[in-house]
Structure 1
């Protein structure tokens, strides 16, 4: 059974699905698109899972010839992703699913990835454990995430602002994603600081 936090997250993304791409368009053009391209250069298959597919912003970067599954908590966001998938050339199986409780088989995917998702997952360690469960031995996890900065002052500022961000946006801006990856049992292979110790690219192995 989904928690109250999970249900509230679903409601929030259902409510903003129509305007989500519009509000993020400036960031997508300036930074996010290039970061997505960088991540997708590391994707290997044949079986790939995108956790938190959202409105399908990563779909244009999917590689031909690979088998993609995309899951998301919000049916309204998935509806936008299906529209985008229907316009594209790469087939993808899309399904409504909670990253914290995946209805997917063990040891199945060669690559699992997510982009700017774990700020909104109520229990990020549970979600990362589920991704590890469905990833093949020898497979990989790829993440783009904004995190709590390392600096004492900047980190404290993010901690102070986080309750406001959670209340209004349902997004945590002070997640300790590196620590959460280790708690979930992932072996960290690569960390790249993309933007002032706030946005990182992570590559990990189960």
Structure 2
């Protein structure tokens, strides 16, 4: 377990809902559209305080993990209100206990801006997905627009102390982990993206 990352997000849990309130309302329809593609055994990575449970299709059963016990304490309240079954677990994406080929779908929301070893974490997700399984990602990434990208580079040393890195090449990292990119969609400029990847059958 990465204890430094755990402590950072335990601390962030105190103000997480307040800070994310506006984004949840603006981005909610895009998340709901993405999550409608969930199928089969599903793992949600970095559940946070559970704000995204409301955008999941009803009557589903899925596992939701987070590295922060403080985040999960708040997520438990929202999990109880979900019209389905949510199994909350405190886990680190780089050290997952699930067997190979366990899940049909993995869902992430603004996660791989914060995982210290993003390619390693993505390779773990690749391992636990079944052949033909999918990863559905709603992520913010480094912009490819010159000055915006430079600004995100400059802000990242500060932002990463209390929250996410702002300049991750998550699309590239998904490909490095072995996934085929099925779809890439810009939600806001080219900073917030929907990324859909597939673990190709052998």
Q: Same fold (TM over 0.5)?
A: yes
Partner of 1:39: 34
Partner of 1:78: 72
* TM-score scaled by length of structure 1: 0.92
Partner of 1:185: 178
Residue deviations 1:102-134, cap 9 Å, x none? Answer: 111110111101000111100000110011111
Partner of 1:115: 109
Separation in 2, partners of 1:75, 1:27? 23
Q: Which of 1, 12, 19 is residue 16 of structure 1 equivalent to?
A: 12
Partner of 1:173: 166
Large movers: runs of 4+ above 6 Å: none
Q: Equivalent residue of 2:51, what SS?
A: coil
Deviation at 1:62, TM superposition (A): 2.8
Deviation at 1:66, TM superposition (A): 3.3
Identify if the C-alpha distance between structure 1 residues 183 and 85 changes in structure 2 by more than 3 Å, giving closer, same or farther.
same
Partner of 2:191: 198
The range that moved more, 179-188 or 7-16, is 7-16
1:74/1:96 contact within 8 Å kept: yes
Q: Indicate whether 1:58 and 2:52 are aligned.
A: yes
1:9/1:170 contact within 8 Å kept: no
Deviation at 1:65, TM superposition (A): 4.4
Q: Indicate whether 1:105 and 2:105 are aligned.
A: no
1:49/1:113 contact within 8 Å kept: yes
* TM-score scaled by length of structure 2: 0.93
Residue deviations 1:67-113, cap 9 Å, x none? Answer: 30001000010111111111222111110000111111110111101
Separation in 1, partners of 2:55, 2:23? 17
Separation in 2, partners of 1:124, 1:105? 20
Deviation at 1:49, TM superposition (A): 0.4
CA-based RMSD:
1.3
